[in-house]
Chains A and B, each alone.
Chain A
Amino acid sequence: MSTKQDNIKKTIELPVMKSGTSSSKNKFWKSLNFMENSNSKEVKKAINNEFSDGVTDDFNIDELEPSSRRKFLALMSASSAFAAVACTDYRDKGEIIPYNNKPEGVFPGIANYYASTYTENGRGWGLLVKTREGRPIKLEGNPDHPINQGKLNAVAQSSILGLYDPTRLQSPMKKSGEKFVKSNWDTVDSEIKSDLSSASSAGKEIVLLTNTLFSPTFSSVLNDFKTKYPTTKIVSYELFNENNKLEAWKSCYGNENLPIINLDKAKVILSLDCDFLATDGDEVENARMYASAKDVNNLESYSRLYSIEAAMSLTGQNADYRMRLTPELQYDLVLSLINAVIKKGINADSSVASKVSGYNLEKFVSENGLSEIATNQLVADLIHHKGSSIVLAGQTLTTEVHIAVNLLNDILGNSALYSKENSRVSYNSIANNNDLKSLVSMMNSGKVGVLLNLDTNPVYHFAKELNFENALKNVNTVVSISEFENETTKLSSYILPANNNLESWSDAKVRTGIFSLGQPIIAPLYDTRQKESILLTYISNEKYTNEIYHTYLMSHWETKVYASANVASDFKTFWLSCLHDGVLKTKEAVTSLGKLNSSSFVSSKNTLSKNGFTLILKPSHFIGDGRYANNGWLQELPHPVSKITWDNYAALAPKTAKKLGVDTFGQIEVSLGDKKVTLPVIIQPGNAEDTISVELGYGRTVVGEVGTNVGVNVNIFLSSNSSSNWILIGANAKLVEGAYKMASVQEHHALDEKSGMLDIKDLHLKREIIQESSVVEYKANPNVIRHHQSEVTSITSAVAYPGVKWAMAIDMNKCTGCATCTASCNVENNIPVVGKDQVSRGREMSWIRIDRYYAGTPEEPIASNQPILCQHCDNAPCENVCPVVATTHSADGLNQMAYNRCVGTRYCANNCPYKVRRYNFYDFRDNLLDGYYYKESVNLIHNPEVTVRSRGVMEKCTFCIQRISEERQHAREQGRAIKGSNVITACQEACPTSAIYFGDANDKDSVIAKLREHDLGYHVLAEINVKPNVTYLAKLRNVQTEGAHSEHH
């Protein structure tokens, strides 16, 4: 008897891991709070408890917002009315309304896909819009589109909510006194038209304010407008633009064709304040190319990323070597690098050599505390891989830095990486500070008769010292064409509601030889028009029809595109095939690069110098220039670096925060000259000292109910005077008393650190949630990850899965942590927005989250990202504890949730080691903002293949069971066996770097089966023997020294 007991005891003993290599010894920490206060009561509680404080608070009706109670009463009366009706015939099941005349190819229950186009500041992507019964329900990238190749970013994924946003403008409005009154199109059109002609005949300017123009046809509309009204001036602006980069390019190469850089061919990438994986340039294309050179099965071309930056960015988190440098010194750094490579024997113009001779890299490195090992490695790499390395400078850096970087790339021969096939195109130049200043002075002198805002919001965006708001008062007629109310529409004479992108015709050309075509997927939901059509009615004397821009677009394509495309078919066939494909590729020559004009490199003195605090203004990850502020999904996506939702903040280095005496969620007042803003603070490990970095796009005051007053508006700091609008030196900061609580998901759902429950010393080291190694180590020993994996034996026999067994693998070498998977999952699986208050209670509902860990020191952290979703464990601990058998295991290895069976005991969530189960503490669709989700239009966004969950129900990742069922249906139709590789989950489909793999583990030839056996594959928390089915491929750091992080210890 006793022996038997001993045996059992032995088998279930926790395995003790062999001590790993240096890299596995890293102590990972989830946040500064967790690391520094690892023994505090709160932190222990956070780690040990499934729910953080507030999550399980009792429901108290008095604490609800008064508006919710109003909604409750309204619903009560509505439901009693419904009950009365229902009683008349309780057997009534409603009606089935068929089509009167069904369009061919449309069947209820089957999705149709249409190609279209998505454009936003520099990005022109092909869309594939999934529609069900005529409503768009999901956006994917168009796989045939050469730029985005089937992928989108989180913003584009979530942008579909904008179509159904109940706060969209629904009819034209006219200012009458102080208020706006509803008007109709005929009235406003004729009034605006007469204003336009009188302004034009009086010789007053008509200003059209636009964003970047990508559309050849829209540009042609603008030209026609200019012909009709000769005093027209077109001014384009962007909150963040590439003017500095473009100016540098112009002075170096004499043209405006910024190159596309083949990052996939780069062996070494040096990013200088350039967040090319997230906010700088076309991140989807960049991420795809970057990740394709991070292939563990092709180590020979495995690239190395250096990042030297001030504020921790997504790119910095992914870097193999990351160093901190305040942005005003980037110029000195680049010149020192040029000098260093010239000294090591790289050929350069003798004038260049003499100009940089004063810059000594060793001196620079020691003065600014950079790592000597890393910089030496960098110089060696740049020289060794000359011609296949690239230096990237961020768009916010000054023109002189960009010129120096062009020069550095030139002398290293890195222009070999510039694409020979395509280059960027621009239809208009983006206004620089002087252009905007002259616009404002024209307005002030009364020389502007009409100002048309074409989907722009200058009152919110322009630098404060321009005083644009005041200048507007001197313009007779201000017209705003916009989808939503904004700060500028408020000050306009007319507000014209615009179509959503999915209701509009469009075309775009962001590259030579690539035309994108966009078609309306749904008829306008409200009385809206697209801006191109509105302008066309002002040009021509014809009355508006829905087809006006469609016809114009077709004829423009016929005369311009079709003529140059040189195809054999007639125009109609050509047009329909372009519409079907959404993209047209033509042969168009790329201007040859030419020789760098080294005389462009004039100044050898840095115009910026360190002075006080440096304020760094950064583009927001998810809400664009503020235009997506009303998109709840985007506001609630955790920031990829800080994991903050629903707010912006001042990010400070730990030492800087200490100096100011401020802690995370404290507040500081940042001032620059006479401009002052109070900002909440987070301490961001890895930020450069004496810098304050803040994201723009927040603090909108006039926007829909979701986005009003979310975050702080720091646009007032935008400078119209300095050499970079976004890097502002000489700022001051002081502590402000009082705390500002932000909703951070960083400490929610923590898996790491010590577990008080078992209280085994150093368990976090043994748990190995994140496993990493380096290329060198892996090459020397392919079993570097495998060899310290545990052997666990079970006391029960394993369940056999004879048929299909679903499994996922995530390649951590490719995953950048961009959160596109989360966004895609939100849309696919009807995941509600819960609001800031609920997020801060730990009740966010996303099924897939990105956990972020830091290793190393708070000053020089090394970051690791890890997407965590339901692991569909073979021995799922959640299943055993459900008292009502609502969560069970299927024969094909899925951990299933039957919502209508769940009674909400939450035992399963309590027992889930991965903390992936999400509970509907409210009917969040009703709870958020007075029943936001129940508004008729928002209801339309739901995926009809997925249940809309209600209050009191547990939910979690299903491995997209609706897509598995779809494949099963197709297999039956075609009389074949179900094929695992045909199922593509929403996260997998969206992942810009294709880091997620899904399929049938029993199909031995499939990719997924091979990845499950990969040397680098491991399971998170394998030692608890729940047999998870998500395999993670350990990340290889491409660092030269033995062990990824040893230099930091």
Chain B
Amino acid sequence: MKKTVLDHALKVRLPITIVVILISFALTFYLSRAERDGVGYSPEQPIKYSHKLHAGTMKIDCKYCHNAVDKSRHAMVPPASTCMNCHQIARKDKPEIVKLKKYYDEGKPIPWKRIHKVPEYAYFNHSAHVNKNIDCISCHGDIAKMEVVEQVHAFTMGKCLECHRDPAQKMPYIKDVASIKKGPEDCGSCHR
């Protein structure tokens, strides 16, 4: 039997095309996943604030600025007045501090770029986690080493559940092992 062009197309070209499409889809899917999840996102901020300097070198407690973290759903980005507690005096001549003072004096809020975001339909609560001795590091990475803050972990439901299901392994820094309880897995814990 003579092979036709159609036979060739169906038996050779088609499978090859399908395989190529599938492989490229799979590759793109997995390779771009981190980017799609926002990992590595570090936008330029209106003021070049360094967490490395403040939280790392100077060891200012996270809660000095993010002081709603153990009270509220939101950790709270500090108001400019919090910065001015020190910068009324400290480093007044530096260009970034001049910028800060301008915002403060004009009574304008600083439009910080948002880096971490849980979707609107999930109700994440900072205080519920922090009050259970979960370190900021577990979700935000080691902020104290970052000159410019970037997202380190994906903020997906899968990621949340990894810790909720196996907290002891994911949070080795909690020494009191007996106190570690699994996080809730009920839909209503986050979705309402």
Contact = CB atoms under 8 A, between A and B. Distances in A.
A100 B114 CA distance: 17
Contacts of A888: 186-187
Contacts of B184: 891
Contact of B188 (A102, A108, A109, A894): A894
A100 B71 contact: no
B112 A95 contact: yes
B81 A102 contact: yes
B170 to A, nearest CB: 19
Contacts of B38: 91, 93
B68 A110 contact: yes
A900 B157 CA distance: 12
Nearest to A89: B43
Most buried by A among B73, B79, B115, B187: B187
Nearest to B104: A100
B187 A94 contact: no
Contact of B121 (A101, A110, A947, A958): A947
Interface string A894-912: 1011111100000000000
Contacts of B186: 888, 890-892, 894, 896
A529 to B, nearest CB: 25
Contact of B109 (A99, A968, A969): A99
A751 B95 CA distance: 72
A97 interface: yes
B49 to A, nearest CB: 12
A1007 B91 CA distance: 60
B76 A107 contact: yes
Interface stretch (B9-17, B21-29, B126-134, B158-166): B126-134
A973 B131 contact: yes
A93 B114 contact: yes
B139 interface: no
Contact of A100 (B70, B109, B187): B109
A947 B188 CA distance: 12
A101 B105 CA distance: 10
B174 interface: no
B103 interface: yes
A863 B56 CA distance: 71
B95 to A, nearest CB: 20
Nearest to A133: B74
A92 interface: yes
B127 A900 contact: no
Contact of A973 (B71, B112, B113, B119): B71
A874 to B, nearest CB: 15
Contacts of B68: 107-110
B128 A98 contact: no
B84 to A, nearest CB: 9
B151 to A, nearest CB: 9
Nearest to A960: B192
Contact of A99 (B73, B79, B132): B79
A947 B114 contact: no
What size tier do the contact residues of chain A reach?
A: 35 or more
B124 to A, nearest CB: 11
A98 B112 contact: yes
Contacts of B116: 93
Contact of A98 (B79, B123, B189): B79
A244 B166 CA distance: 73
B155 to A, nearest CB: 10
B114 A890 contact: no
B111 interface: yes
B173 to A, nearest CB: 19
A962 interface: yes
B109 A108 contact: no
B77 A98 contact: yes
A752 B82 CA distance: 62
Contact of A102 (B79, B104, B192): B79
A972 B184 CA distance: 14
Contact of A95 (B72, B104, B111): B111
A340 to B, nearest CB: 59
B59 interface: no
A17 interface: no
Interface string A79-100: 0000000000001111111111
B50 interface: no
A973 B187 contact: no
B112 A900 contact: no
Contacts of A198: none
B2 interface: no
A93 B103 contact: no
A74 interface: no
B115 A93 contact: yes
A758 to B, nearest CB: 33
A899 B121 contact: yes
A901 to B, nearest CB: 7
A965 interface: yes
Nearest to A973: B131
B172 interface: no
A348 interface: no
Contacts of A945: 123, 192
A946 interface: yes
Interface string A55-98: 00000000000000000000000000000000000011111111
A973 B79 contact: no
B108 interface: yes
Interface string B42-77: 010000000000000000000000001011111011
Given A890-B188, A896-B188, A961-B192, A100 B103 contact: yes
A736 B117 CA distance: 62
A108 B127 contact: no
B171 interface: no
Contact of B74 (A94, A108, A891, A900): A108
A93 B121 contact: no
B80 A96 contact: no
Contacts of A972: 127-128, 131-132
Contact of B127 (A894, A897, A898, A969): A969
Contacts of B111: 95, 97
B74 A109 contact: yes
Interface string A94-120: 111111111000011110000000000
A925 to B, nearest CB: 15
A890 B107 CA distance: 46
B178 to A, nearest CB: 15
B187 A898 contact: yes
Contact of A961 (B79, B132, B188): B188
Interface in A918-946: 945-946
Contacts of A93: 38, 41, 113-117
B121 A98 contact: no
Contacts of A891: 184, 186
Most buried by B among A894, A962, A969: A969
Nearest to B115: A93
8 contacts: A99-B79, A99-B81, A100-B79, A100-B103, A108-B74, A890-B188, A901-B187, A973-B70
Given A94-B113, A107-B68, A896-B192, 5 more contacts: A94-B114, A100-B80, A100-B103, A108-B68, A969-B127
- What are the 8 closest A-B residue pairs judged by CB atoms, nearest first? A109-B72, A890-B186, A109-B73, A896-B188, A99-B79, A102-B79, A898-B187, A93-B114
